[in-house]
């Protein structure tokens, strides 16, 4: 569908608002319909988030930050001014700005869980794109299986985050962590890059029919609607489809290794990441 705000019912008492920002970002707001509280994930700017909070008379209880890049945290100070009681959750390695000294930062280590109202959030170590990056799985309180994961810039549709600070080894380990998640989990990434990533993935010449079909389907939509690739919403991503079509999750696939003449996980991943960096 065309780029714009939308919402989905996650659980009986939980609604997810997807808020586009800048050219291709996504910000996320979780609304508790029983307590009238909200949690925001990666607020790159505050205006659109504030509009939803005020229009629905919601109290901001949590702000969750996957990493320190400005397009993910640009709205933090303004939100803190309006909702000073909100708890700010980040990784142990998070690079806070000096002006944030008064904020109540809760630093959550990988594998730690915390309750978000009646539900559970688990922190995953996905350092690579940056050295403070985490992802967050969301589960109903009585369930062992997460239904959703918020991955920031660690994983995209048919892609992964560029290595601004980390190493290829770190990024590969992060993606191994994510690839272990259930195949039906909903993946909420922070940028709309899917079509561009697929166009590059095809150039690796893996001869991947699922990859080709996915790209053809999306190209049809943007041609029909006459929109730019970043203006066509492809989230939530599906882990089963990503495993089949995302070359950054296929480091151990013989068909990919044969196409690019590599023989081990790290070399294969490094080749794909280096190739993608050219575009």
Calpha distance 74→57 (Å, rounded): 23
- Residue 102's pLDDT band, with cuts at 50, 70 and 90, is low
* Residue ranges of domains in the chain: 6-189, 196-276
Please give the C-alpha separations between residue 101 and each of 13, 57, 104, in angstroms, as whole numbers.
34, 28, 8
Calpha distance 278→272 (Å, rounded): 10
Tens digit of each residue's pLDDT (9 = 90 or more) over 41-72: 999 999 999 999 999 999 999 999 999 999 99
- Residue 128's pLDDT band, with cuts at 50, 70 and 90, is very high
Instruction: Enumerate the β-bridge partners of residue 30.
Output: 16, 39
Calpha distance 250→238 (Å, rounded): 15
Please, is 192 exposed, middle or buried when counting C-beta atoms within 10 Å of its C-beta (0-12, 13-18, 19+)?
A: buried
pTM above 0.75, yes or no: yes
How many other CB atoms are found less than 10 A from the CB of residue 106?
12
The answer for residues whose C-beta is within 8 angstroms of residue 39's C-beta and 6 or more apart is 29, 30, 60, 61, 62, 63, 64, 116
Thinking of the domain 6-189, which architecture would CATH place it in? 4-Layer Sandwich (3.60)
């Amino acid at each position: 569908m065309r780029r714009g705000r939308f919402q989905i019912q996650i659980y009986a008492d939980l609604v997810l608002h997807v808020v586009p920002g800048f050219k291709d970002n996504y910000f996320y707001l979780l609304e508790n319909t029983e307590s009238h509280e909200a949690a925001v994930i990666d607020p790159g700017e505050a205006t659109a988030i504030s509009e939803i909070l005020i229009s629905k008379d919601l109290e901001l209880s949590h702000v969750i930050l996957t990493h320190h890049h400005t397009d993910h945290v640009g709205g933090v100070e303004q939100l803190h001014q309006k909702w000073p009681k909100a708890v700010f959750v980040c990784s142990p390695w998070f690079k806070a700005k000096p002006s944030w000294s008064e904020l109540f930062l809760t630093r959550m280590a990988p594998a730690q869980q915390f309750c978000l109202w009646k539900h559970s959030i688990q922190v995953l170590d996905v350092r690579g794109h940056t050295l403070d990056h985490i992802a967050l799985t969301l589960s109903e309180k009585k369930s062992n299986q997460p239904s959703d994961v918020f991955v920031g810039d660690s994983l995209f549709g048919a892609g992964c985050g560029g290595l601004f600070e980390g190493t290829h080894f770190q990024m590969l380990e992060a993606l191994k962590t994510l690839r272990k998640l259930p195949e039906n989990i909903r993946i909420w990434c922070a940028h709309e890059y899917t079509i561009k990533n697929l166009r590059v993935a095809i150039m690796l010449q893996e001869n991947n029919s699922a990859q080709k079909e996915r790209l053809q389907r999306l190209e049809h939509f943007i041609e029909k609607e006459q929109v730019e690739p970043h203006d066509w919403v492809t989230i939530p991503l599906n882990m089963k489809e990503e495993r089949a079509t995302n070359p950054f999750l296929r480091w151990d696939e013989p068909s990919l290794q044969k196409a690019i003449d590599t023989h081990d996980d790290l070399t294969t991943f490094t080749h794909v990441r280096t190739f993608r960096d050219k575009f």
